[in-house]
Amino acid sequence: MSKNSSGERVGLYPGTFDPVTLGHTDIIRRGAKLVDRLIIGVTTNPSKDPMFTPEERMEMVRAEVARQGLENVEVRGFNALLMKFAEAQGASVIVRGLRAVADFEYEYQMAGMNQQLNANIETVFLMADVSLQPIASRLVKEIALFGGDIGPFVSAEVREQVNARVERIGRRGEL
């Protein structure tokens, strides 16, 4: 992995983190070991219906990073083309987590497109821990909205925030 002009290896782990899951924190912890500085880029995705605002998601991720004691990790929001944001941050590596074959197909296509935009920034794929592979933010929100226990998938603090949000917006489904 190459270093930027200041001599440090900067990685960027982008995502919506709505909400941040144990799978995300696993990738953050492991990605932080690979670079001098890891930036968690919290972004918006027009195809997703977020439960939390970008500011709330950034604060959630910051709290999780602090609980992990990761001093070389910082959280920043962005609403731009990923490669433009990576260039602006001096990143030489994009960190992406993989859960399953379906993730790989999508991520492989994205990595190819990103390489066309900037061949100097590498994409590194980290496999999620086996016990965390089924976790997806979309499914965590769905479980919470239908009154299920999301405790196995998120930290206790995130669980409280998600459950509070669900109480505010209302549960779905009745037997």
- Ordered structural domains, the chain, with CATH: 10-169 (3.40.50.620)
Tens of pLDDT along the chain (175 residues) come to: 566 667 899 999 999 999 999 999 999 999 999 999 999 999 987 777 899 999 999 999 999 999 999 999 999 999 999 999 999 999 999 999 998 777 788 888 999 999 999 999 999 999 988 888 889 999 999 999 999 999 999 999 999 999 999 999 888 765 4
Predicted local distance difference test score (pLDDT) of residue 172: 79
* 155 annotated active-site: no
Predicted local distance difference test score (pLDDT) of residue 4: 61
Predicted local distance difference test score (pLDDT) of residue 47: 76
CA distance 172 to 52: 17
Strands 93-98 and 10-15: parallel
Given 48, 138, 171, 172, the catalytic residue:
48
Dihedral angle sign, alpha carbons of residues 77, 154, 96, 134: negative
**Burial of residue 169, with CB atoms counted within 10 A of its CB: 0-12 exposed, 13-18 middle, 19 or more buried:** exposed
Query: For residue 7, is it left (φ>0), alpha (ψ between -120 and 50) or beta?
Result: left
* 24 annotated active-site: yes
* 92 annotated active-site: no
Q: What is the pTM of this model?
A: 0.91
End-to-end CA distance of the chain: 53
Given 30, 62, 99, 165, the catalytic residue:
99
Predicted local distance difference test score (pLDDT) of residue 1: 59
Predicted local distance difference test score (pLDDT) of residue 119: 95
User: What's 92's DSSP letter?
Assistant: S
